[in-house]
Amino acid sequence: MKNSVVRTLTFVSLATLPIAGASEAQTSPDTGTTVIHAGRMFDSERGVFLTSHDIIIKNKRVESVGEDLPIPPGAREIDLRACTVLPGLIDSHTHLLYLEDIVKGSFSEGTKAVINEGTPLRALHGAARARTFLSAGITTVRDLGNAGRFGDIALRNAINDGSVDGPRMFVSGPGLSPEGGQFPGLQERYKAIAEEEYRVVRGPEDAALAVRENVTYGANLIKIYSNNTPNRGYLSLSEMRAILEEANMYGMRVAAHATNNAAVWRAVQAGVSSIEHCYQVDDTTLALMRERGVALVPTDVDSITVVRLLKRDPSEKKPTSEQIPLILRGNRDRLMRAVKAGVTIVAGSDNYIQTGVPQGEGAKHNLFAYAEAGMEPLQILRAATWNGAELLGMKNRLGVIKAGAYADIIAVEGNPDSDIHALENVRFVMKDGTVYVGRQ
């Protein structure tokens, strides 16, 4: 149902876009130029808001940005003077081909995805979820595994060739994991099931081979599990170093799932670019991350998401709403310690659990979690734009509205700099110069 809603929105929005001179556009040749008039605009590079700026877009890229720019002849004009315009958001930790439902008991959901769903159907389900991200204003995702046998690469390619509407995807292929992947309770005899979902690494040579496999089949980056929670294994330091050496040779970055201090410390020593989750970490390790320029992707949930999850949780012994601040206290504390330590924060939702709202909308609540912890709206907006682009190696091309950048632009009603929840009111989405949502 939600997908038909998204499709309807996309259709309606294109039909109702306020395009000046639309009737002339039918008779005059399409110059491929668009001008957006922005009431307010987020400059993610400097971390400030500007007023009354024009953005000229030509051939999928931003050509120029400034005040009162002359309108090129034949340009299509889009009036967003009543809105706040931002670069398309970047979610740096997604799993578009994976969804758990707490109602069904999350521990068996992973094996079910492999055995009962299968990669082709997962890719199709992922395509439906991808639309919800784009409609929510998330125009780029870094998708980190749990996509079966390279289903993430199939979906990325389908989006890139225009068959499927979705965000730009930067994908890892199967994550490189210690024994057993992340399937708890799997009997040894059936370990091959985990190896359908993860690339289980056995020794440094095998670790390097795993990188080569993922490179060969089309990955943009490498995902590793320094520890494979909820299982107990760790990759060895020599395995991680072999992975980094091989990945560096291809100019690929490595993202590390690491949930406790030892796992974080070891992954940073090996040379990864980002630490995902990082639930338990001490200040010495945070200082090392700062020193080495390793980004933190805090995959935190906000209190609204916890309430939604608790509503769906069928267990009798679930926490009460009064206990929610206690549940979230640890994450909030480590996020603010990381901010204080000067660690670069990159927004990533890890929103793979069904909360009853479209996945893309649910993913934005990750940003509200940062606000609840005490991050300032401007810091959060940078984490979801500029910092995300930098982590992807796409600085100045994504996550920013400036000359030369890809035309990934969104507009919201309200002022996200004073209330981050304004990001819920997305009124316009452009990716690569194409308008996908344009209601007003």
d(Cα 410, Cα 271) in Å, to the nearest integer?
Answer: 34
By the 8 A CB rule, do 32 and 45 touch? Answer: no
Residue 374 CB, nearest distance to Zn ion (Å)?
A: 24
Could you tell me the CA-to-CA distances from 368 to 32, 83, 299, 420 in Å, in that order?
37, 20, 11, 7
* Total site size for Zn ion, rule CB under 5 A: 1
Residue 440 CB, nearest distance to Zn ion (Å)?
A: 35
By the 8 A CB rule, do 35 and 54 touch? Answer: yes
| Structure tokens, 376 | 């300032």
d(Cα 4, Cα 257) in Å, to the nearest integer?
Answer: 34
Q: How many other CB atoms are found less than 10 A from the CB of residue 197?
A: 24
409-412 and 426-431 as β-strands: parallel, antiparallel, unpaired?
antiparallel
What is the H or E stretch that residue 80 is in? strand 76-87
Residue 93 CB, nearest distance to Zn ion (Å)?
A: 6
Residue 174 CB, nearest distance to Zn ion (Å)?
A: 13
Q: Which is nearer to Zn ion, 147 or 422 (CB)?
A: 147
Residue 305 CB, nearest distance to Zn ion (Å)?
A: 15
Footprint on residues 324-353 left by Zn ion (CB under 5 A) = 350
Q: Which is nearer to Zn ion, 109 or 350 (CB)?
A: 350
Residue nearest to Zn ion (CB): 350
Q: Which is nearer to Zn ion, 223 or 332 (CB)?
A: 223
Q: Which is nearer to Zn ion, 197 or 350 (CB)?
A: 350
| Structure tokens, 216 | 């060969």
Q: Which is nearer to Zn ion, 91 or 350 (CB)?
A: 350
* DSSP annotation of 319: P
Please, how many CA atoms are within 13 Å of residue 413, restricted to the half-sphere of its CB? 7
Preceding omega of 29 cis (within 30 degrees of 0): no
Residue 370 CB, nearest distance to Zn ion (Å)?
A: 17
By the 8 A CB rule, do 40 and 84 touch? Answer: yes
Q: Which is nearer to Zn ion, 246 or 350 (CB)?
A: 350
Could you tell me the CA-to-CA distances from 251 to 93, 171, 213 in Å, in that order?
20, 15, 15
> What single string gives the DSSP state of each residue in 14-47?
HHH--EETHHHHHHSPP-SEEEEEEEEEEETTTT
Residue 350 CB, nearest distance to Zn ion (Å)?
A: 4
Q: Which is nearer to Zn ion, 352 or 386 (CB)?
A: 352
Q: Which is nearer to Zn ion, 100 or 350 (CB)?
A: 350
Letters for 348-377 (x = contact with Zn ion by CB under 5 A, - = none) are --x---------------------------
Q: Which is nearer to Zn ion, 54 or 276 (CB)?
A: 276
Residue 100 CB, nearest distance to Zn ion (Å)?
A: 11
d(Cα 81, Cα 412) in Å, to the nearest integer?
Answer: 11
By the 8 A CB rule, do 267 and 289 touch? Answer: no
Residue 144 CB, nearest distance to Zn ion (Å)?
A: 6
* CA-based R_g, the chain, Å: 22
Determine, following the binding rule CB under 5 A, whether residue 100 of this chain makes contact with Zn ion: no
Residues that bind Zn ion (CB under 5 A): 350
